[in-house]
Structure 1
Amino acid sequence: MFNGRDPRIDFFRGLALIFIFWDHIPHNPLGQITLRNIGFSDAAEVFVFLAGYAAVLAYGKVLQRDGYLIACVKILRRTWVLYVVHIFLLAMLMGIVFYANSHVQTRDLVEEMGLTHFITNPQQALTDELLLRFKPNLMDPLPLYIVLLAGLAIALPLLLRHTWAVVGISMAVYLMAPKLGWNLANFSDGVWYFNPVTWQFLFVLGGAAAIHGQRPRAPQTRPLLRQPLFLAAAVYSLLAGLITVSWRWPEIHDALMPAAISELLYPISKTDLSPPRLLHFLALAYVTAKLLPDRRWTQNWLAGQTCRMGRYSLEVFCLGVLLAPLADMVNALADEHWSMQVLTALVGVGLMALLAAWLDLNKRLGRPVQMTAA
C-alpha cells in the first residue's frame, strides 16, 4: 500500500525548519517572509502535519510488513529517542543562553527565553524538565511531537483500517478541548503552549493524507479555475493573507474589518489551534498540492538541499534551536544592524544545510558495499 519517500514532503519539512529558525531570531528581517506573515497559520502547522504524514507513511509500512507489535516497538523506541534528545537539547540550550546573556548587556536573554524558572527553582525545574512540564521558548514543538508520536502507537492500526472514523473522533476531541479546558499542565500552574489535545487533530489529518495519497485516483481533467474546492481554498488563503498584512496597520484593519467577522474570527489561538488557523493551513496545503502535482521541481540543486534538511528533520531542528540564541547574541552585539541580522540568518541556514549534508554522507558511507558480477 505504501510507496517510497516523497521528496515534496521532505522539501516542505526542510522549508518549515528554515522558517522556524528565522521566526525564532528576534527582529530578523528574513522572518518577514515566513508563513506567519501571509496568513493565520505558520511553520508549526507545516511541521506537525508533515510529521503525521511521514510517521504514518513510515510506520504504516512497518505494520503491514512486520505486524503491529514490531511497529509499536519501533514507534515507542523513536519516542524514547526524541525524549532523550529533548533532555540533552534543553541542557545545551540553557548553557548557550546563559553564555549569551553574560555578553549582552542591553537585554535579559534568560528571561526572554523563559529560563527564569530554572534560576529561581532549579530542583523543581529539573523535575519539570523530565516530566515535559518545563519548556522554554524554542522547545515547544519537540515535546508536542513526543506526545503525538507516542499516541500513534495506539492509533495507527485503527487509522489504517478505519481512517475516517479516527479522523471524526479526533475532530470531536479537537472541538471539545477548548470548551472543556483540556490541556496538559506546565510548570507554575500553566498549560502547554501547543495543546496536544487540539494539535493531535492536525497530526491525524497528516496521517490520513498519507493514507489517502497512496490510493489510486482518477486524473483530474478540469482546469483548476473550474474546481470549486480549489477556488474556495485559494480565496480563503488570499483573504487570510490580506487580513494578516493589515495587522501591521491597526487603524486600517479596524476600519475595514466588519464587526461581525471580527467577532467570529478573533481571537486566533495558536495554543488551541483555532479553526481559522487550521482552515488556513489546510487551504494553503490544498492549493500548494494542486499547483505542484508532480515531483520534477524538487530535482534542482536548491530544492535538493532543502529536501535533504527535511530528511534529517530532528537533527536539523535541534541545531536550529541552538543557533537561534547565538544569532540573537551576535545581532545584539552588532546593535541589531539589519545587515548582521540577515547574515546570521543565512549563516544559520547554511550550517543547518551542512549538517544535513554531513549526515547524508555519513549514512551513505555506512551502507554495506554490494558486490556485482563482472
Structure 2
Amino acid sequence: MNHSRDHRIDFYRGLALIFILWDHIPQNPLGLLTLRNFGFSDAAEIFVFLAGYAAVLAYGKIALRSGYLIATARILRRAWVLYVVHIFLMVLLMGIIFVANNHVETRDMIQEMNLNYFLINPQQALVDELLLRFKPNLMDPLPLYIVLLAGLPLLLPLLIRHTAHAVALSVGLYLLTNWYGWNIPAHDGGLWYFNPLAWQALFVLGGAAALQASRNTVVDSRPLTRQPLFIACASLVLISVPIALLWKWPTLHDLVVPHWISERLYPISKTNLAPARLLHFLALAYCTAKLIPRGPWVQHWLARNIGMMGRYSLEVFCLSVLLAPLADMANALADDALAMQLCTALLGVALMLAMAAWLDLNKRLDQQPAQVAPAVAKSGVA
C-alpha cells in the first residue's frame, strides 16, 4: 500500500468544517454559499465519507504492520476518547444554550436546540445522554462517528482483503435499511437523526476509496469528455444545481421541475441518506477527484490553512459546535443585522483556524525533543 499523504483530504475536511459552522448558524447569509444550496447532499456527507477514508487509511496501515488485534485496540481506544469528548462537549453546549436563552428574547434557543426533554425529565435525559440516545441539535455527527468507528474492527479485515465484498455487504445493509425503515431508538421514543445503519455505507465507501487510492491502479488517461462514468457523474451534479436552487421558490419549482421527477426524487431523507443524496455526493466526489488532481495548489496560503483545520477535524468540529449558538446569540442581540451576521460567521472561522494553528504549533513543539534527543546522545552531552 502507498501511504503518501494526500493533502486534498485535509483541505476538503477543513472546507466541510467551515460549511458545517455556517449551516449551523440560523439565518447566516454565508450559509447560502455552502454545498447544501447547490445539490442534494451537504457537508455532512463530506464529513462522514472523509472520516471513513482517514480511518481506514490509518488503521489499515496499523493492521498490516502490527496485526488486526493491535488495530482493533487502537480503534476502540479512539472511539472511547470520542465518547468522552462527546459527553464533555454536550455539557458545555447545554451550559452555553441555557445562558444564551436568558439573554435572547426574540426566540427560544432551548426549543431550537431540542433541550426541552432535558428540562422535563433530567434524570432520564442524563441516562439517555450516556447511552447516546439524547443528542441536542448540532451534536448528531459526533455520536454517528463514534458508532461507525466502534464498528470498524468488524469490517476492517474484509475491507482490506476483499474490498468489493465488504462494499457489497455495506450497500446491502443500506438498501435493506431504506426499504424496511430500520433505525436505532433515540430518546423519548424517537430515532437517530443520522441513522448509522444507512450512513455506514458512506463511511465504508470512503474507506474503500482510501484503499483504492493507495494501490497502484490503472488510471483512465482518456480525455474526460470520453469517459462515460465522468460524463454520467457530471450530468447528475449539473442537473441537481437548478433543482436545489428552486427549493427557495416552491411555486416556481413546481412549474419547472417535471412531476415525474418530483415523484421519484422526494422526499430526500437526510436521516436515512436517501439514494439521491448518496448518488449526488458520490458523483460530486468523483468529479472533484478528476477535475482537481494533486498539485502545488494545496500549498497555497488559503488551501494550506483550510487543510490545517482539516488535520485537526475533531477539535475544530467541537469548537464549531460551541461557536454556532454563541454566534446565534450575538446575532439575535443585534436584531440579526447583516453586518453582525457576517462578522460572527467570519469570526467563527477565524477562531477555528486559530485553534488549528495552536494545535499544530503544539504538535511541532512536541516533536522537536524527539528529534533533538538522538543528536544530543550522539554528541555525548549528558
TM-score of the superposed pair, with normalisation by structure 1 = 0.98
Q: Name the counterpart of 2:152.
A: 152
RMSD, matched Cα: 1.1
Aligned to 1:102: 102
On the 8 A contact 2:57/2:211 being kept in 1, the answer is yes
Deviation readout 1:208-248 (Å, 9 max, x if unpaired): 00000011133433111221111111111011111000111
Q: Partner of 2:231 in structure 1? A: 231
Matched with 1:309 is: 309
Matched, 1:369 2:371: yes
1:215 is the counterpart of 2:223: no
Amino acid aligned to 1:365: L
1:123 aligned partner? 123
Match of 2:333 in 1: 333
The residue number in structure 2 matching 1:203 is: 203
State how many pairs are aligned: 374
What's the offset of the Cα at 1:294?
1.4
Structure 1 range deviating more: 326-335 or 243-252: 243-252
Work out the CA distance in 1 between the residues paired with 2:4 and 2:222. 28
User: C-alpha separation between the residues in 2 aligned to 1:369 and 1:256?
Assistant: 63
Counterpart of 1:293 in 2: which secondary structure? coil
CA contact (8 A) 2:327 2:345 kept: yes
Query: Can you list the C-alpha shifts for 1:252-311, whole angstroms capped at 9, x where unaligned?
Result: 110122121111111100000000000100010011000111132101011111111000
What per-residue deviation string (whole Å, max 9, x for no partner) do you get for residues 312-346 of structure 1?
00000000000000000000000001111010000
Deviations 1:11-41 (A, max 9, x none): 0001000100000000000000000000000
Q: What residue identity is the alignment partner of 1:10?
A: D
Residues 345-360 of structure 1 correspond to what in structure 2 (within 5 A)? Answer: 345-360=345-360
Structure 1 residues 261-300: aligned runs within 5 Å: 261-300=261-300
Q: C-alpha separation between the residues in 2 aligned to 1:295 and 1:54?
A: 20
- List gaps (5 residues or longer) in structure 2: none
Deviations 1:110-168 (A, max 9, x none): 01001111111100000000000001100000000000000101111111011110100
Counterpart residue identity of residue 291, structure 2: L
CA offset at residue 369 of structure 1? 2.9
Alpha-carbon contact 1:8-1:295 (below 8 Å) kept: no
Given that residues 308 and 356 in structure 1 are in contact (C-alpha distance below 8 angstroms), is that contact kept between their aligned partners in structure 2? Answer: yes
Aligned to 2:171: 171
Is the Cα–Cα contact under 8 Å of residues 230 and 286 in structure 1 kept in the other structure? yes
- Helix, strand or coil for the counterpart of 1:247? helix
8 Å Cα contact 2:6-2:294 kept in structure 1: no
User: What is the CA–CA distance in structure 1 between the aligned matches of 2:220 and 2:199, rounded to whole Å?
Assistant: 31
Q: How does 1:75-90 map onto structure 2 within 5 Å?
A: 75-90=75-90
Distance 1:71 1:25, change over 3 A: same
| 2:316–2:356 CA contact under 8 A, matched in 1 | yes
SS in 1 for 2:211: helix
CA contact under 8 A between 1:41 and 1:281: conserved in structure 2? yes
Q: Name the CA distance, whole Å, in 1 between partners of 2:359 and 2:72.
A: 26
Amino acid at match of 1:135: K
- Stretch moving more, 169-178 or 199-208: 169-178
- Sequence identity of aligned pairs in percent? 65
Partner of 2:26: 26
Contact 1:97 1:110 in 2 (8 A): yes
8 Å contact kept, 1:29–1:341:
yes
Aligned residue type for 1:81: V
Consecutive unaligned residues of structure 1, counting only runs of 5 or more, are none
| CA distance in 1 between partners of 2:156 and 2:342 (Å) | 42
In the alignment, residue 260 of structure 1 is paired with which amino acid? W
Contact 1:2–1:61 (CA<8 Å) still a contact in 2?
no
Q: State the AA in 2 paired with 1:369.
A: Q
